[in-house]
């Protein structure tokens, strides 16, 4: 038998029909649905008089548009409300399970899938959202799709896909104290670039990845797409198996035993060939801060803002100049001297319980800096929020002058009322620092939850390893 990569195994297990040209009809086990990318797909079903192929494969939740302030009276913004109402009525019409806005289980789609056990090892998981790569942390083949493919998945339970190439990124050895999954993945993107993973499914491997919790692995896979890879995956191990058991959608009894037996095979075989291998030494990874308008524009905390005049490539130099102008930064400024206006702790990258604990441990007994006008903490789901409150984390944040909000995507992409004003600078635990991402004219610096919390207290970026 040929040695296979984990991606090869997942691909092979889901082939409905091999087209013989490198593409195949691939079966989709789980389809997660949210309000922004689905209305036109449901319309397409209606126009063509089609029905969802398998209703129980779908799970829906509204997350992008929902307010993070009190929402017991519904959504004030009529345009957002229309979109959430459309999801509610589409799910009701087609019989799809949906966690509605005021359901305790509501939250960011990439938080609730794993939390509910709706994401399981070995599955194919799709969603009309690029950060679906998150679910690859479970040894699942998970990737974002556009609305036409949302309609295709609804109507046929399959997608026509071209097989990607295999890449392995090995993070060798162990990270130093204070270094988190976010720093690991930002360092990886800094290394391979935002298009480095284009055309590949990336398997994250090595001691530093194996040592991560499931929350940490989700953070890493979440940002695979920022490195260009539509899907990121991590092999199944005992950490995975321990996490998925006992959740509402997880198998039980005899099915669980059968499932575990299969899950244990979900790793790359010794001797399997990758089209590209990248090795990064964990010990060299420092706390990371992005300085520009692309996630690859990232540096260690002790660095200085780069100088475009030292860049030889003309297209890159012009990109750097545009980024610095947009970010309002001067070349050679120490990163630690960059002052911030706002803090955002949340998003599908960093809104899970472990992220909130890390941030809370930094702000405990401290106060938000005077120049920081708003520090938002937005849990990833109602269940994460409840857990955090049970641990008293909400009190720690509130005492420090941070705001404690209702779950949703919030200021990661500012589709709701949470946003940056033009020129405002934010330490954000989200995943994209694109122009206007957190609000038109807003300036985003991507960091880990601990680094965001520390910046909120200090008023500027600081090295979490020496922060007292």
Partner 1 sequence: MRAFTTVTATVAPLDRPNVDTDAIIPKQYLKSIKRTGFGQYLFDDWRYLDQGDLDIPVASRRPNPEFVLNQDAYRGAQVLVSRENFGCGSSREHAVWALEDYGFRAVIAPSYADIFFNNSFKNGFLPIILKADEVQKIFEVVAKDAASEVTVDLPAQQVKLPSGEVFNFEIDEFRKDCLVRGLDEIGLTLQNADSIRAYEAQRKASAPWLFN
Tell me which residues in 7-66 interact with partner 1 (CB under 8 A): 16-17, 19, 21, 23, 25, 27, 29, 36-37, 39-40, 43-44, 48, 50, 53-54, 56, 64-65
**Under rule CB under 8 A, residue 245 binds partner 1:** no
Nearest to 184 by CA among 164, 165, 202: 202
**Under rule CB under 8 A, residue 435 binds partner 1:** yes
**Under rule CB under 8 A, residue 102 binds partner 1:** no
Among 55, 76, 82, 367, binds partner 1 (CB under 8 A): 82
Tell me which residues in 201-220 interact with partner 1 (CB under 8 A): none
The 3-class secondary structure across the chain, one letter per residue, is CCCCCHHHHHHHCCEEEECCCCEEEEECCEEEECCCCCHHHHHHHHHCCCCCCCHHHEEEECCCCCCCCCCCCCCCCHHHHHHHHHHHHHHHHHCCEEECCCCCCCECHHHHHHHHCCCCCCCEEEECCHHHHHHHHHCCEEEECCHHHHHHHHHHCEEEEECCEEEEEEEECCCCCCCCHHHHHHHHHHHHCCCCCCCEEEEEECHHHHCCCHHHHHHHHHHHHHHCCCEEECCCCHHHHHHHCCCCCCCCHHHHHHHHHHHCCCCCCCCCCCCEEEEEEHHHCCCEEECCCCCCCEEECCCECCCHHHCCCHHHHHHHHHHHHHHCCCCCCEHHHCECCEEEECCCCCCCHHHHHHHHHHHCCCCCCCCCCEEEECCCEHHHHHHHHHCCHHHHHHHCCCEECCCCCHHHCCCCCCCCCCCCEEEECCCCCCCCCCCCCCEEEECCHHHHHHHHHHCECCCCCCCC
The residue (of 102 and 255) whose beta carbon lies closer to partner 1 is 255
221 labelled ligand-binding: no
The residue (of 210 and 260) whose beta carbon lies closer to partner 1 is 260
Judged by CB under 8 A, the stretch of 153-161, 208-216, 350-358, 379-387 that binds partner 1 is 153-161
The residue (of 23 and 373) whose beta carbon lies closer to partner 1 is 23
The residue (of 156 and 213) whose beta carbon lies closer to partner 1 is 156
**Could you give the count of Cα atoms lying within 13 Å of 264 in the half-sphere of its Cβ?**
7
Judged by CB under 8 A, the stretch of 82-90, 103-111, 234-242, 367-375 that binds partner 1 is 82-90
The rounded distance, in Å, linking the Cα atoms of 32 and 45 is 17
Write down the least CB distance from residue 57 to partner 1, Å: 8
The residue (of 54 and 364) whose beta carbon lies closer to partner 1 is 54
The residue (of 9 and 460) whose beta carbon lies closer to partner 1 is 9
**Under rule CB under 8 A, residue 408 binds partner 1:** no
Tell me which residues in 163-192 interact with partner 1 (CB under 8 A): 164
127 labelled ligand-binding: no
The residue (of 189 and 282) whose beta carbon lies closer to partner 1 is 189
Write down the least CB distance from residue 146 to partner 1, Å: 4
The residue (of 203 and 354) whose beta carbon lies closer to partner 1 is 203
Write down the least CB distance from residue 25 to partner 1, Å: 6
**Under rule CB under 8 A, residue 89 binds partner 1:** no
Among 294, 381, 410, 428, binds partner 1 (CB under 8 A): 294
**Under rule CB under 8 A, residue 83 binds partner 1:** yes
Tell me which residues in 318-377 interact with partner 1 (CB under 8 A): 318-319, 322
Write down the least CB distance from residue 218 to partner 1, Å: 18
Write down the least CB distance from residue 46 to partner 1, Å: 12
Among 32, 137, 353, 413, binds partner 1 (CB under 8 A): 413
The residue (of 150 and 220) whose beta carbon lies closer to partner 1 is 150
**Under rule CB under 8 A, residue 152 binds partner 1:** yes
Burial class of residue 81 in the structure, from the number of CB atoms within 10 Å of its CB (0-12 exposed, 13-18 middle, 19+ buried): middle
Tell me which residues in 255-274 interact with partner 1 (CB under 8 A): 255-256, 258-259, 262
The rounded distance, in Å, linking the Cα atoms of 204 and 170 is 6
| Binding-site residue ranges for [4Fe-4S] cluster | 348, 409, 412
| Binding-site residue ranges | 348, 409, 412
């Amino acid at each position: 038998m040929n040695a296979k990569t984990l991606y090869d195994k997942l691909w092979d297990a889901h082939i409905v029909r091999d087209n013989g040209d490198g593409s195949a009809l691939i079966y989709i086990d789980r389809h997660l649905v949210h309000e922004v990318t689905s209305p036109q797909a449901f319309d397409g079903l209606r126009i063509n008089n089609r029905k969802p192929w398998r209703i129980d494969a779908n799970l829906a939740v509204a997350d992008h548009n929902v307010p993070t302030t009190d929402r017991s009276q519904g959504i004030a913004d009529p345009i957002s409300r229309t979109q959430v109402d459309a999801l509610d009525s589409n799910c009701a019409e087609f019989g799809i399970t949906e966690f509605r806005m005021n359901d305790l289980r509501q939250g960011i789609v990439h938080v609730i899938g794993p939390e509910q056990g709706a994401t399981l090892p070995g599955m194919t998981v799709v969603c009309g959202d690029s950060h679906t790569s998150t679910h690859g942390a479970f040894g699942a083949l998970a990737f974002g799709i556009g609305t036409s493919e949302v309609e295709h998945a609804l109507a046929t339970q399959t997608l026509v896909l071209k097989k990607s190439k295999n890449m392995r990124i090995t993070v060798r050895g162990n990270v130093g104290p204070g270094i988190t999954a976010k720093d690991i993945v930002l360092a990886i993107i800094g290394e391979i670039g935002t298009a480095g993973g284009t055309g590949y499914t990336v398997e994250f491997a090595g001691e530093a990845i194996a040592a991560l919790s499931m929350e940490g692995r989700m953070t890493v896979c979440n940002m695979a797409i920022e490195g260009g890879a539509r899907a990121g995956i991590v092999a199944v191990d005992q950490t995975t198996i321990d996490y998925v058991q006992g959740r509402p959608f997880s198998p039980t009894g005899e099915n669980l035993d059968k499932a575990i037996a299969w899950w244990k095979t979900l790793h790359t075989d010794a001797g399997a060939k990758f089209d590209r291998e990248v090795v990064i030494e964990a010990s060299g990874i420092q706390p990371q801060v992005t300085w520009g308008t692309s996630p690859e524009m990232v540096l260690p905390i002790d660095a200085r803002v780069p100088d475009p005049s030292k860049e030889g490539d003309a297209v890159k130099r012009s990109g750097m100049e545009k980024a610095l102008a947009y970010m309002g930064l001067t070349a050679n400024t120490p990163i630690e001297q960059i002052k911030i206006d706002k803090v955002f702790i949340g998003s599908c990258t960093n809104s899970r319980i472990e992220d909130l604990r890390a941030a809370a441990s930094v702000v405990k007994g401290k106060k938000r800096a005077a120049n920081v006008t708003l520090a938002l903490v937005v849990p990833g789901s109602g269940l994460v929020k409840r857990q955090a409150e049970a641990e008293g984390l909400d009190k720690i944040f509130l005492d420090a002058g941070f705001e404690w909000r209702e779950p949703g995507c919030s200021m990661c992409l500012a589709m709701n009322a949470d946003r940056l004003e033009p020129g405002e600078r934010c330490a954000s635990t989200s995943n994209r620092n694109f122009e206007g991402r957190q609000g038109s004219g807003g300036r985003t610096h991507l960091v880990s939850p601990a680094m965001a919390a520390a910046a909120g207290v200090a008023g500027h970026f600081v090295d979490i390893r020496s922060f007292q």
